[in-house]
Chain A
Amino acid sequence: MPPDDLTDEADRVLRICTACMYCDGLCAVFPAIAGKHDFTPNDLDYLANLCHNCRGCWYACQYAPPHPFAVNLPNALAELRQRSYADYAWPRWLGAGFAANAGVVTAIVGGVTTLTLLATALLVPAEVLFAAHRGAGAFYQVVPWPIMAGAAAAALLWAVISIGVSAISYWRSIAPRASLGATLRALVPALRDIVTLRNLGGGGPGCNDASEKFSQQRRWCHHIMVAGFLASVASTLIAALYHHALAIEAPYPLTSLPVLSGGIGGVAMLIGIGGLLRLERRADRAPSAAAEVRLNLVFLVLLALVAASGLAVLALRDTPAMGLTLSLHLGLVIGSFVVLPVSKAVHGVYRSMALLRAAIDRAVPRPRRGGEE
């Protein structure tokens, strides 16, 4: 990538930061730039995704505007991060989907969902569709299992391949020169940083979610949302296990594992998402990138729709509305899988890899510097 306004600005700001280093206790970005004289495009891709946008260094910066240095590291890195999403997208043309994300996601998810609803309405006889289904196999009377599973699997496969190829090329760009042993030894510390979101903690007191005040709200909301998400995924997997291995057919009783974990998961997701949306609304926009905020909002709304429609299936499963609700939920899930490679979802992959690189580098003693006076 040739240098341009975004890389020039990141380079300018990062140089000031390496000379300053006052923020070195806030997150992994500062130890990663310590002692560096120059930043290659690959360095910038690494740092952009290592930053968790906790905004700590924005409020702590002695050179924030109106100072003539006008340092805004979170913004510079967020702009680059957004562009890295497009740059590493595979197939290449997919990158354009990040620019008008709301439109692309709405069109695709909307299209898939409409198609699913239409197909259900047209193909399933009304007396089956609007009957109050009870008992084993009721779900599959509306949408046959092979179609349901097949469509979802195909969409998921696409997402996994697309994001997987992107991830490989991203890792190739940022991978440090390290032995396999060193990489493996870094896995556990990296995983700890990924799971705990340590870098959303501002080095201890918390991050500046909405203002100068420290809080851990963003981190906790994310944890709750991800936990809910994982519980929902688990619910689907357990259901598949019941269906195939144990030959127990859905719908399952309220107290069964799939229903419990799906129900709790869906509610947790909505709680986490609600909290994150509230923080997005209150946050100071200066240290973020407009494109990133849009990407966040689109994905939050999408996740909320999926979670809410899943809960609706649970709530309405004994009523004549079950058929259409189920079809709506399926449509949203499949649509989400399709847009996953052009959504916020990629952040988890790139950030995890950046954290792995940071953990590998951490094993090598860092240069200490004279930052005091």
Chain B
Amino acid sequence: MTGASPMPTIDVLVVGGGSAALCAAIAARRHGATVRLVEQAPVHLRGGNSRHARNFRLLHDEAHWYVPDSYGEDAFLRDLHRVTAGATDEVLARLLIRGSADIAPWLQANGVALQDPRSGVMPHSKRTAFFLGGGKAMINALYATAASIGVEIGYDSEVVALQLDDAHCGEVVIARGGIAGPIVAKAVVLACGGHQADRAWLRESFGDIADGLVIRGTPYVTGRVLRMLLDAGAKPVGDPAQAHIVAVDARGPEVDGGIVTRITAIPYGIVVDRNAKRFHDEGEDARKTHYARWGARIAQCPGQIAYLIMDAAGRARALPTALPPIEADSVAALAAKLELDPQALSATVAGFNDAVRESGTEALVPPKSHGAAALTTPPFAAYPMRPGLTFTHFGVAVDPQMRVLTTDGHLENIFAGGMIMAANVLGRGYLAGLGVTLSAVFGRLAGEEAARHAAR
């Protein structure tokens, strides 16, 4: 030691405050490292998108109290191949799947409570386990555990600069309450999510459509650190213009609306654009995940808005929504409330009703191929819908030690875990519960590797 250093030096600095960051911090601390975690959000809004998650996907060869049946490695990999259409790194995918096998006990050992599938009313799932109380409860438990084992936690702390010499990260500059200060860490884990809340970046990738997008998750995932990494030569993976976009209630908040603004009733009615014209087959896909296909379609509509129109029978089949639907006793009156052309909407509904045959439509373009039922019973109900962005399929490439890759090698002491590197395995598509699994498994691994690096 040569005199007192003006900066605090620690073993591992973890950037982020969601499941990836917490798993990294806890894993690194349990490996004996001194750890500081910096979360950009204030304490009451901590937890990134992990706060909005509910369940996670896990490999298991036998039933456990928290998950029935079994879900094997091959089945998991097959599902992943199916949704990504091959846009997955085989080595990392296997690492993820095998790592998911002990993530449930690991999370529980770190204070996270899981839900007994026989309690409550959650859907039956042999592929995923559910957090008791949801993602926020999981986050709370992990923060409590991290604090209790000595992880230093800073809120309102945004990483604003990474100082990179060659492949080595020296200072990390953290802004807190308008004051920026450097930290030096032997290893840095970047677990600060993707860039889905950065509208400027979205505009670069999506053009004008970006302004019509609702950001479903936290506003604090801005991608600032991801940009710094790329600027410093990190190798990108995926495509920032590929995203998981779902149909959400247009009346919900612009950002952070989470799960409850999702509109899942599309198969029970018809969807029109702001000219009161139908534009796609509402019966094409009646699977539970159909809403994830409608996001991109609504994004292509003029003004990025569309309207789900149902009658009373359709509404009765729909799941309850956070905001009650807009209702009226006639189609024309409904149109007026929606500020659509009443005549145009009446004509569309009448044309649809005339074309309805047993469970489908005849000579209608576009058709409603399944579950078509005439809209006749008042009150009529409508949801205005917008495209809601969950995450983009874009991030930095990593190796199996979670080291950030550059075009000709890897950064020496920077590790990445979670959504920031998800596109390595999830180049396209989505599987329910994969977001948290990915963050927990790779976050934990990044933390362990960082601690190992710091101990060298």
Q: Which residues of A contact B (CB under 8 A)?
A: 15-16, 18-26, 30-31, 34-37, 56-57, 59-69, 202-205, 212-213, 366-373
Q: Is the CB of B321 within 8 A of A15?
A: yes
Indicate if B393 sits at the interface (CB-CB under 8 A): no
Q: B321-360 CB contact bits vs A (8 Å, 1 = yes)?
A: 1111000000000000000000000000000000000000
Q: Is the CB of B260 within 8 A of A20?
A: yes
Choice from A22, A36, A65 contacting B135 with Cβ under 8 Å: A22
Cα-based distance from A34 to B259 in the complex (angstroms):
16
Indicate if B403 sits at the interface (CB-CB under 8 A): no
Q: Name A34's closest neighbour in chain B (CB-CB).
A: B121
Instruction: Tell me how far the C-beta of A58 lies from the nearest C-beta in chain B, rounded to whole angstroms.
Output: 10
The verdict on A371 contacting B133 (CB below 8 Å), with A62-B52, A212-B144 known, is: no
Q: Is the CB of A35 within 8 A of B319?
A: yes
Q: Is the CB of B320 within 8 A of A63?
A: no
Residues of B within 8 A of A26 (CB): 132-133
- Find the residue from B125, B133, B321 having the highest chain A CB count within 10 A: B133
Indicate if B264 sits at the interface (CB-CB under 8 A): yes
Cα-based distance from A372 to B54 in the complex (angstroms):
6
Cα-based distance from A203 to B315 in the complex (angstroms):
32
Q: Is the CB of A60 within 8 A of B320?
A: no
Residues of B within 8 A of A370 (CB): 123, 264, 288, 319
Instruction: Tell me how far the C-beta of B452 lies from the nearest C-beta in chain A, rounded to whole angstroms.
Output: 32
Q: Is the CB of B253 within 8 A of A68?
A: yes
Residues of A within 8 A of B116 (CB): 25, 204
**8 additional contacts (CB under 8 A) given A15-B320, A62-B135, A63-B258:** A30-B121, A35-B320, A59-B136, A60-B136, A367-B121, A370-B123, A372-B55, A373-B390
Q: Name B432's closest neighbour in chain A (CB-CB).
A: A372
Instruction: Tell me how far the C-beta of A11 lies from the nearest C-beta in chain B, rounded to whole angstroms.
Output: 9
Residues of B within 8 A of A68 (CB): 253, 256
- Find the residue from A57, A203, A371 having the highest chain B CB count within 10 A: A371
Indicate if B36 sits at the interface (CB-CB under 8 A): no
Q: Is the CB of B113 within 8 A of A22?
A: no
Q: Is the CB of B132 within 8 A of A20?
A: no
Q: Is the CB of B319 within 8 A of A205?
A: no
Q: Is the CB of A366 within 8 A of B121?
A: yes
Instruction: Tell me how far the C-beta of B58 lies from the nearest C-beta in chain A, rounded to whole angstroms.
Output: 13
Indicate if B51 sits at the interface (CB-CB under 8 A): yes
Residues of B within 8 A of A372 (CB): 54-55, 122-123, 125, 128, 130, 432-433
Residues of A within 8 A of B54 (CB): 22, 371-373
Residues of B within 8 A of A371 (CB): 54, 122-123, 259
A-B contacts, 19 listed (Cβ < 8 Å): A15-B321, A19-B322, A21-B120, A24-B120, A25-B122, A56-B133, A59-B136, A66-B42, A66-B45, A203-B113, A203-B119, A203-B133, A205-B113, A368-B121, A368-B123, A369-B123, A371-B54, A372-B128, A373-B262
Indicate if B64 sits at the interface (CB-CB under 8 A): no
Instruction: Tell me how far the C-beta of B265 lies from the nearest C-beta in chain A, rounded to whole angstroms.
Output: 11
Cα-based distance from A372 to B430 in the complex (angstroms):
12
Cα-based distance from A203 to B122 in the complex (angstroms):
14
Q: Which 7 A-B pairs have the closest CB atoms?
A: A22-B134, A60-B133, A24-B120, A60-B137, A19-B260, A25-B115, A18-B320
Cα-based distance from A35 to B258 in the complex (angstroms):
19
Q: Name A367's closest neighbour in chain B (CB-CB).
A: B121
Choice from B133, B288, B315 contacting A22 with Cβ under 8 Å: B133
Residues of A within 8 A of B115 (CB): 24-25, 203
Cα-based distance from A183 to B121 in the complex (angstroms):
22
Q: Name B42's closest neighbour in chain A (CB-CB).
A: A66
Cα-based distance from A25 to B137 in the complex (angstroms):
12
Q: Is the CB of B44 within 8 A of A36?
A: no
Q: Is the CB of B140 within 8 A of A62?
A: no
Cα-based distance from A25 to B113 in the complex (angstroms):
11
Residues of B within 8 A of A69 (CB): 253, 260, 322
Indicate if B168 sits at the interface (CB-CB under 8 A): no
Cα-based distance from A64 to B124 in the complex (angstroms):
27
Residues of B within 8 A of A62 (CB): 51-52, 134-136, 258-259
Q: Is the CB of B264 within 8 A of A25?
A: no
Q: Name A16's closest neighbour in chain B (CB-CB).
A: B322
Q: Is the CB of A16 within 8 A of B260?
A: yes
Q: Is the CB of B137 within 8 A of A59?
A: yes
Cα-based distance from A156 to B119 in the complex (angstroms):
40
Residues of A within 8 A of B44 (CB): 64-66
Cα-based distance from A16 to B125 in the complex (angstroms):
23
Q: Is the CB of B122 within 8 A of A369?
A: yes
Q: Name A22's closest neighbour in chain B (CB-CB).
A: B134
Instruction: Tell me how far the C-beta of B431 lies from the nearest C-beta in chain A, rounded to whole angstroms.
Output: 10
Q: Is the CB of A204 within 8 A of B55?
A: no
Q: B423-456 CB contact bits vs A (8 Å, 1 = yes)?
A: 0000000001101000000000000000000000
Residues of B within 8 A of A203 (CB): 113, 115, 119-120, 132-133
Within 8 A of A (CB), among B219-271: 253, 256, 258-262, 264
Q: Is the CB of A37 within 8 A of B123?
A: no
Q: Name A211's closest neighbour in chain B (CB-CB).
A: B144
Choice from A24, A56, A212 contacting B122 with Cβ under 8 Å: A24
Instruction: Tell me how far the C-beta of A321 lies from the nearest C-beta in chain B, rounded to whole angstroms.
Output: 51
Cα-based distance from A369 to B322 in the complex (angstroms):
15
Q: Name B253's closest neighbour in chain A (CB-CB).
A: A68
Indicate if B213 sits at the interface (CB-CB under 8 A): no
Residues of A within 8 A of B53 (CB): 373
The verdict on A204 contacting B113 (CB below 8 Å), with A368-B122, A372-B433 known, is: yes
Residues of A within 8 A of B256 (CB): 67-68
Q: Is the CB of A373 within 8 A of B259?
A: yes
Q: Is the CB of B134 within 8 A of A23?
A: yes
Q: B65-79 CB contact bits vs A (8 Å, 1 = yes)?
A: 000000000000000
The verdict on A369 contacting B319 (CB below 8 Å), with A31-B121, A204-B113 known, is: yes
Cα-based distance from A234 to B53 in the complex (angstroms):
50
- Find the residue from A22, A23, A67 having the highest chain B CB count within 10 A: A22
Q: Is the CB of A37 within 8 A of B133?
A: no
Choice from A18, A25, A35, A63 contacting B130 with Cβ under 8 Å: A25
Instruction: Tell me how far the C-beta of A249 lies from the nearest C-beta in chain B, rounded to whole angstroms.
Output: 54
Q: Is the CB of B122 within 8 A of A204?
A: no
Cα-based distance from A205 to B120 in the complex (angstroms):
15
Cα-based distance from A212 to B323 in the complex (angstroms):
29
Instruction: Tell me how far the C-beta of A185 lies from the nearest C-beta in chain B, rounded to whole angstroms.
Output: 19
Cα-based distance from A21 to B113 in the complex (angstroms):
16
The verdict on A15 contacting B123 (CB below 8 Å), with A63-B258, A373-B54 known, is: no
The verdict on A21 contacting B55 (CB below 8 Å), with A37-B315, A66-B44, A369-B319 known, is: no
Q: Is the CB of A57 within 8 A of B321?
A: no
Residues of B within 8 A of A369 (CB): 121-123, 319
Instruction: Tell me how far the C-beta of B453 lies from the nearest C-beta in chain A, rounded to whole angstroms.
Output: 33
Instruction: Tell me how far the C-beta of A287 lies from the nearest C-beta in chain B, rounded to whole angstroms.
Output: 14
